[in-house]
């Protein structure tokens, strides 16, 4: 049997260099390096709002308002269902024109209630969005800015708009910890 030769395009030294670079890349990507200097950082605003005590209290207040609206919608729906049943029961006893007038008036009330409740829902959603913006601006912005300066970054992107990133550029946990720490200090 004839000895076979390697048909590699890379000589042995090149392969060793590539292996060394790959090992170095693995070491550099190690998650142990907690605070990587990166020009771009990411943050999960939803987690920031949910997992900080200040944000959670904001969300709880909005949730209470949402539950009130749900209860009000249910009450109105029950009233309208009862009124519709009464109207249906009256149909056989009323002249067609009188029933049509009552039915049209009922439909107008239904449309009015629907428009009012839709507007309340829009206002609640707007309040939720505004509360999120206010929380980020008032409670989190200075802490996020401190983290940005400490990490030597230029910009922070919301994680929802990022397709891919490494965990080392996500500052959510650090921001949550600092905001909760600040809330504790203020409470004392």
Q: Provide the 10 A C-beta neighbour count for residue 65.
A: 15
Question: How do residues 153-176 score in pLDDT, each as one tens digit?
Answer: 999 999 888 888 888 889 999 999
Which portions of the chain are predicted below pLDDT 50? 3-10, 13-33
| pLDDT score recorded for residue 1 | 52
| pLDDT score recorded for residue 36 | 58
d(CA 133, CA 140): 10
| pLDDT score recorded for residue 139 | 87
Q: What are phi and psi of 54, to 5 degrees?
A: -65, -50
| pLDDT score recorded for residue 114 | 96
Measured at the alpha carbon of residue 31, what is the angle toward residues 30 and 32, in degrees to the nearest 5?
90
| pLDDT score recorded for residue 33 | 42
| pLDDT score recorded for residue 149 | 93
């Amino acid at each position: 049997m004839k000895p076979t030769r390697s048909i590699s395009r890379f000589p042995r030294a090149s392969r060793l260099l590539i292996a060394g670079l790959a090992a170095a890349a693995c070491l550099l990507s190690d998650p142990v390096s907690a605070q990587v200097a990166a020009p771009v950082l990411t943050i999960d605003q939803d987690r920031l709002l949910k997992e900080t005590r200040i944000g959670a209290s904001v969300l709880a207040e909005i949730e209470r308002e949402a539950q009130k609206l749900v209860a009000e919608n249910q009450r109105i729906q029950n009233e309208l269902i009862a009124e519709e049943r009464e109207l249906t029961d009256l149909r056989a006893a009323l002249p067609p024109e009188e029933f049509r007038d009552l039915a049209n008036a009922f439909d107008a009330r239904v449309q009015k209630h629907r428009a009012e409740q839709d507007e309340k829902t829009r206002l609640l959603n707007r309040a939720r969005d505004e509360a999120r913006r206010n929380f980020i601006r008032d409670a989190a912005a200075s802490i996020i800015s401190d983290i940005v300066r400490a990490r030597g970054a230029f910009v922070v992107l919301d994680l929802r708009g990022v397709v891919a990133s490494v965990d080392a550029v996500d500052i959510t946990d650090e921001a949550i910890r600092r905001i909760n720490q600040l809330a504790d200090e203020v409470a004392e």
